[in-house]
Structure 1
Amino acid sequence: MTLKHILLGTIGATMIAAPAAFAGSVTPAPADPVVATPVAVALTGDWTGGYVGGQIGFGDVDAGGSDSGAIGGLTMGYDHDFGTWVLGAGIDYDFADITAGGNTLENMARLKVRAGYDMGAGLLYATAGAARADIDTLGNDTGYFAGMGYEHMVTEKISVGGEVLYHAFDNFNGSGTDVEATTAQVRATFRF
């Protein structure tokens, strides 16, 4: 056997074995990593439960003269979701310093009921109830209020919203002065 035959035999054997060597190994190749696609979570809006929160906004007061200013405070209550409709009750307490006609509205409390349409993560509602106001020169008196609002769940426990209310106090504390107030407030609540 000559060197030429040995080289040709080696080259031939290499050419036959090469495809098998490049075909792969006994262990499988690692799998491509799986990247999870983010999934948006739709809030269903189960409004049943209690809530506490804060609110702030603007009040326009007519008490023998008209003026406006900031108003804000605390809110708490409980709602029950009946499916399409929500019914609830709550209490608000607001601080104010709005002087109108020489009379200053210092605070206002509300005992309220609300009924609304369940829109999933949103709640469109009407509200009404009793209001109690404290005016520095006239004392305090009880009247009524009515209005509407919208609340939206931003997480399962946090909701934000807004509310516009009209308040009326006839013959405030026997003074002969009728007091009216309109408030527009935004709120944030923690639901439990």
Structure 2
Amino acid sequence: MRLTATTALILAATTPAFAGGLADPAPDQVVAPVQMAPPAPVPAPGNWTGFYGGAQLGYGRIEADPLEDGEATGATYGLHGGYLYDFGSIVAGAEIDYEGSNISDDPTGIDFDRFARAKLRVGYDAGRFQPYLTGGAVWAQTSGALDAEDYGRFAGLGVEYKVTDRVRVGGEVLQHQFEDFDGTGLDLDATTASARVSFQF
């Protein structure tokens, strides 16, 4: 009886020690994932596909060969309209425009009244910018000392910038050539530079 009581006392005294020595292992540490900064947004290229129309205002210079004083300068103004298709990097299309002018050559008395052009355009989609090449056929009419009209050719370059998805501004420089204008023996070289505003539909 005494042995049993003694054994019970020993077990009671040593149980806390064993309990303290059998402590549960610390749980594994959880490492939080590293948050990566999102990549900077890349601006999407502009979509130039669609019909458009607008107005232009500019300046022109015309030289008439073989006239000694056959050079005239003045303002130009008009309207334009066309269609472009955006292939991704390349933008192509066609345009027509009509311009009046107050270009007059006082020494010869020749007035250059109006121009009309049928254009082909090929440009590069640079997002909101589009530089382009253009060329085609041009019709011109004169009055005063030379009441005539004839067809010629032209080529040039331009650039446009999209202010919004619907509105764009730009500039264009064109070089025109008329050989033997309306059978008069005059060769006309005309250079025009214009500022343009267009609205895409």
> Normalising TM by the smaller chain, what interval?
0.7 to 0.9
User: What corresponds to 1:71 in structure 2?
Assistant: 76
Q: Tell me the amino acid that sits aligned with residue 142 of structure 2.
A: I
For 2:125 and 2:81, how far apart are their aligned partners in 1?
A: 19
Q: Tell me the amino acid that sits aligned with residue 62 of structure 2.
A: V
For 1:56 and 1:132, how far apart are their aligned partners in 2?
A: 18
User: What corresponds to 1:110 in structure 2?
Assistant: 117
After superposition, residues 75-114 of structure 1 pair within 5 angstroms as: 75-100=80-105, 101-114=108-121
Q: Tell me the amino acid that sits aligned with residue 184 of structure 1.
A: A
TM-score of the aligned structures, taking structure 1 as reference length:
0.77
For 2:190 and 2:45, how far apart are their aligned partners in 1?
A: 35
User: What corresponds to 1:161 in structure 2?
Assistant: 170
Gap runs ≥5 in structure 2: 1-42
Gap runs ≥5 in structure 1: 1-41
User: What corresponds to 1:14 in structure 2?
Assistant: none
Structure 1 consecutive aligned stretches of length 4 or more whose deviation exceeds 2 Å? none
Contact 1:138–1:175, Cα closer than 8 Å, also in 2? no
For 2:131 and 2:176, how far apart are their aligned partners in 1?
A: 20
TM-score of the aligned structures, taking structure 2 as reference length:
0.73
Confirm whether residue 125 of structure 1 aligns to residue 126 of structure 2: no
Q: CA RMSD in A?
A: 1.6
Farther off after superposition, 182-191 or 63-72: 63-72
Q: CA deviation at 1:44?
A: 3.4
Q: CA deviation at 1:71?
A: 0.3
Contact 1:54–1:188, Cα closer than 8 Å, also in 2? yes
Q: CA deviation at 1:43?
A: 6.8
Q: Which has the larger radius of gyration?
A: 2
Contact 2:45–2:125, Cα closer than 8 Å, also in 1? no
For 1:180 and 1:97, how far apart are their aligned partners in 2?
A: 16
After superposition, residues 4-43 of structure 1 pair within 5 angstroms as: none
Aligned length: 153
User: Pick from 142, 159, 165: which aligns with 2:151?
Assistant: 142
For 2:197 and 2:72, how far apart are their aligned partners in 1?
A: 26
